[in-house]
């Protein structure tokens, strides 16, 4: 573990840095996810959409969700009447069909929990959701943030890459460690959610895994990755 990952003395600088990040990314034309963020959804609908969104794009995830709604006749609970193979066929377009189908069925079986966590303390709600087989810390955080406005900061591959490249807080060994670190700053839940959305879009459009568009980046002057890349190009 990086020493900085648990250094609570950095909280003031975390808040300042996150405010800077929020301010600079707010000026970019970034859009929210159509599969998770936009529109009113029941808790069950949102969690299933979150599961389907893993390792795919919004268009394919949304098509898979529509296939499930058609199969279920509009009531997703009816999916329990079908063999797992039918669920896998319906969501195959989104990838990871076996893992996702299994998790979706477990979530439907535990659908009452999706309602009960609303009245729990955030830490208890997070632990409870992660007891559902297949629901990890990122999916649980996304659900609690977007469904109930709890103060969580989910970290996906884009956020993990962007924050580690910036080097503002050191390097993190896992997305979970980064989530916990950012949450320790105790920013308002809505700001955490918006920051999550902005960094993901920023990571997709500008700070890409391959060939990042550093010339368009509003953070390049303060970015450790950019500085090191410039030094290497001049060597």
- Give the other-Cβ count within 10 Å of 134's Cβ: 16
CA-to-CA distance for 126 and 106, rounded, in angstroms?
17
Q: Are 93 and 67 in contact (CB under 8 A)?
A: yes
The verdict on domain 43-148 having CATH code 3.20.20.10 is no
- Whether the per-residue pLDDT at 38 is higher than 70: the answer is no
Element (H, E) at 198: helix 189-205
- DSSP secondary structure of 2-62: -GGGG-GGGHHHHHHHHHHHHHHHHTS-----TTTTSS---HHHHHHHHHHTTTS-HHHHH
- Give the model's pLDDT for residue 175: 96
Length of the chain as a residue count: 235
CATH of 3-29+152-230, one of 1.10.3720.10, 3.40.50.2300, 3.40.50.1370, 1.10.1670.10: 1.10.1670.10
- Give the other-Cβ count within 10 Å of 143's Cβ: 27
Assigned token pair, 183: 């949450």
Q: What is the pLDDT of residues 153-171, one digit of tens each?
A: 999 999 999 999 999 998 9
CA-to-CA distance for 127 and 229, rounded, in angstroms?
40
- Give the model's pLDDT for residue 78: 98
- Give the model's pLDDT for residue 1: 44
Where do the CATH 1.10.1670.10 domains begin and end in the chain? Answer: 3-29+152-230
Where do the CATH 1.10.340.30 domains begin and end in the chain? Answer: 43-148
State the average pLDDT over residues 168-183: 94
Tell which wins on pLDDT, 31 or 234: 234
CA-to-CA distance for 159 and 26, rounded, in angstroms?
16
- Give the model's pLDDT for residue 232: 77
CA-to-CA distance for 205 and 29, rounded, in angstroms?
10
- Whether the per-residue pLDDT at 33 is higher than 90: the answer is no
CA-to-CA distance for 114 and 120, rounded, in angstroms?
11
pLDDT band at 227 (very low <50, low <70, confident <90, very high): very high
- Give the model's pLDDT for residue 6: 46
Q: Are 103 and 92 in contact (CB under 8 A)?
A: no
Q: What is the pLDDT of residues 128-147, one digit of tens each?
A: 999 999 999 999 999 999 99
Can you tell me which residue has the tokens 């000026």? 27
127 alpha-carbon distance from chain centroid: 17
- Whether the per-residue pLDDT at 36 is higher than 80: the answer is no
Mean per-residue pLDDT of the chain: 91
- Whether the per-residue pLDDT at 71 is higher than 70: the answer is yes
């Amino acid at each position: 573990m990086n020493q900085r990952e648990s250094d609570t003395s950095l909280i003031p600088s975390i808040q300042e840095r996150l405010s800077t990040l929020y301010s600079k990314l707010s000026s970019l034309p970034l859009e929210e996810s159509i599969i998770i963020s936009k529109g009113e959804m029941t808790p069950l609908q949102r969690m299933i959409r979150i599961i389907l969104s893993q390792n795919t794009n919004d268009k394919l995830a949304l098509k898979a969700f529509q296939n499930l709604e058609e199969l279920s006749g509009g009531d997703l609970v009816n999916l329990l009447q079908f063999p797992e193979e039918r669920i896998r066929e319906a969501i195959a377009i989104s990838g990871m069909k076996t893992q996702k189908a299994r998790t979706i069925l477990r979530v439907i079986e535990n659908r009452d929990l999706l309602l009960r966590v609303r009245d729990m303390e955030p830490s208890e709600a997070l632990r409870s959701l992660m007891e559902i087989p297949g629901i990890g810390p990122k999916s649980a955080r996304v659900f609690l943030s977007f469904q109930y406005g709890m103060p969580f900061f989910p970290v996906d591959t884009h956020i993990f890459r962007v924050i580690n490249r910036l080097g503002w807080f050191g390097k993190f060994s896992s997305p979970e460690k980064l989530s916990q670190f950012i949450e320790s700053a105790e920013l308002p839940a809505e700001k955490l959610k918006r920051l999550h959305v902005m960094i993901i879009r920023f990571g997709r459009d500008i700070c890409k895994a391959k060939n990042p568009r550093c010339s368009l980046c509003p953070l390049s002057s303060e970015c450790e990755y950019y500085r090191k890349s410039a030094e290497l190009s001049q060597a």
